[in-house]
Structure 1
Amino acid sequence: MLEEIFERIKGMILKPVETLRTAANDEISFTFVYFFILLAVYGILFSLTLSQFGMFLMMNNQIVVVLLTMLGQMIISFLAGTAWLHLWVYLLGGRQGLKNTFRAVGNSMTPVLLLGWIMPMGIIVGTIWGLVLEILGIRELQKFTTTRAILAVAIPMIIGIITLIVYLALTDPRFLASLTGIFQGH
């Protein structure tokens, strides 16, 4: 199994489209294991970057709780985000099933989880690369055109961003004040 994980990582880096096409045949349990192993590696590397003392962080109970909470939130976000994305995939005509959307998202997380712990460029590069892979994954696994795959990924993101902005504007006066300053050129 570990060899398959390393081959998948290598494939997502060197031959992502071909690798995503083969992901359609994956057992859903493989995608779960793949994601969780990458998430664990991310958690370890991220915790080490937060500490100037390396292993000191791993011995601090408070930091371990924060790290486990963050990883739990990432798992919940992964599952909820996949469901939200699949709603839009389905509305745009995707009929290859939730499992294929799950496979696309799980595999597209590779660069985010491998690079996201490198501040700040790893987050930026990993996120952009991950979005490109997600679009390719939806295209390949849901049998979409590239345009339809872009729409399927972009629409829920845009709605989420707008919802967040509206929520912050309604609940945090400092956020609204900062927006006002941006639009006034201050």
Structure 2
Amino acid sequence: MSYSFTQKISGIFLKPTNTFRDLEEERLGTALFHFLKLSVLFSLLMTVTLYTLPGIPITKKWSMASQVFQPLDLFAALLVVTVVTPLIIGVWLHVWVYLLGGRRGIGQTLKTAMYSYTPFFIITWIPIIGLFGGAVSTLYPQTVGIRELHHIPSRRAAGAVCAAAFLPVVALFGVIVMAFVAPVPMLSFLTASVGSPATPDCPYLLDDADLPGSIVHYAAAEVENAIISRDAKEYGCLKEYTATYAEEKPSSATSRRIQHFIMIFPPGNASMMVQSDEAFYRGLVPPRNADELPAPGIGDRCISYRAPGLGSSANGAYDSYCIIFAKGDVYEKFITVGPSPDYELLKDLAGRAAAKIP
């Protein structure tokens, strides 16, 4: 029986047994094409939602990331994850299917894995519980699909699905428990070859001696070249560093934090990166608009913006401030994160950072 795109979606939801039976002889390429269409649709709608509906709780978790990643970047990342993850899970699932008697080939398992993610694409839209509920909702159609496409009993099909789904969770839980209860010498042995992250060798990062008494240095790292933003790479970014400053260490969810980004560019390109950021902030429209502020007179080019209602806490929504400047070949960006943002402190830190650049 030939199924249309929508008939496959409704069939997996309403009549999974009959649907999988009818799709048994379907070619893997046909199933993959259906899955790619569903993945593109899901990634597109999710991107639109995250960038246009700030009332949804998940949007606020992405709000800071959305300043760094453009919608097209997020769409591409979602699409890659959406396509690759079920295929990897399908290979892992087939190991258990084979051990429990499934002999109809890995193609049938991959078809099952792809079609079983149909509920995930639909249920994930439910705020708060959507992600977990969507993941759990894949288990039943996976069990039905393995049973029907591999012609094995329900108990074996369920056993394969549960082993594939929960053994990694149990292993991860075991590692976490061991980290808390293992003796210190054992932990030292396990981590001896790993070492702790070294402070990046960047003369422009603020250290404890550069910071005012109200905040402390929290963390710093050099950004891997593979995850430097696309815009920065277009301007020839050579190095990127990031640091976080907080009111307390360890920082809690209610404390005020400041993120600091540093990029090193070829001559002249740091100011062009600031211009690119300026165009981005000026292009934002309600409800994600940004208000331009009088920029501090630092560096060769400096801009400053306030993004209203970017996050929320128990005391309501809070704003986020940013100061971006270029001085010579160095680009720096400061962003406030968390409630009660202190713009004067942000200006103070930006001034201190500019003073470290020759």
Q: Would you say 1:5 and 2:5 are equivalent positions?
A: yes
Aligned position for 1:39: 39
The letter of the residue matching 1:121 is: I
The letter of the residue matching 1:10 is: S
One of 74, 93, 104 as aligned partner of 2:101? 93
Shift of 1:159: 1.7
Give me the whole-angstrom Cα distance separating, in 2, the residues matched to 1:160 and 1:21: 30
The letter of the residue matching 1:104 is: T
Name the structure where helix makes up a greater proportion of residues.
1
Question: 1:48-67 CA deviation, whole Å, 9 max, x = no partner?
Answer: 2212359xx99x96232133
Aligned position for 1:82: 90
Report the secondary structure of 1:94's partner residue.
coil
Question: 1:92-145 CA deviation, whole Å, 9 max, x = no partner?
Answer: 111011111111111111110122133233334433332111111111111111
Aligned position for 1:157: 165
Residue 136 and residue 121 in structure 1: after superposition, are their counterparts in 2 closer, same or farther (change >3 A)? same
Give me the whole-angstrom Cα distance separating, in 1, the residues matched to 2:18 and 2:45: 28
Report the secondary structure of 1:26's partner residue.
coil
Aligned position for 2:29: 29
Name the structure where strand makes up a greater proportion of residues.
2
* Higher CA-based Rg: 2
Give unmatched runs, 5+ long, in structure 2. Answer: 55-62, 182-358
The letter of the residue matching 1:4 is: S
Give me the whole-angstrom Cα distance separating, in 2, the residues matched to 1:65 and 1:79: 22
The letter of the residue matching 1:23 is: L
Give me the whole-angstrom Cα distance separating, in 2, the residues matched to 1:62 and 1:19: 39
User: What CA RMSD, in Å, does the superposition of the two structures yield over aligned residues?
Assistant: 2.5
Report the secondary structure of 1:51's partner residue.
helix
The letter of the residue matching 2:37 is: I
The count of aligned residue pairs is 168
> Is this contact kept in 1: 2:112–2:142, CA < 8 A?
yes
Please identify runs of 4+ aligned residues in structure 1 that moved more than 6 A.
Answer: none
> Is this contact kept in 2: 1:108–1:131, CA < 8 A?
yes
Residue 115 and residue 41 in structure 1: after superposition, are their counterparts in 2 closer, same or farther (change >3 A)? farther
Q: Would you say 1:15 and 2:15 are equivalent positions?
A: yes
Aligned position for 2:139: 131
Give me the whole-angstrom Cα distance separating, in 2, the residues matched to 1:163 and 1:67: 31
Residue 45 and residue 169 in structure 1: after superposition, are their counterparts in 2 closer, same or farther (change >3 A)? farther
The letter of the residue matching 1:49 is: T
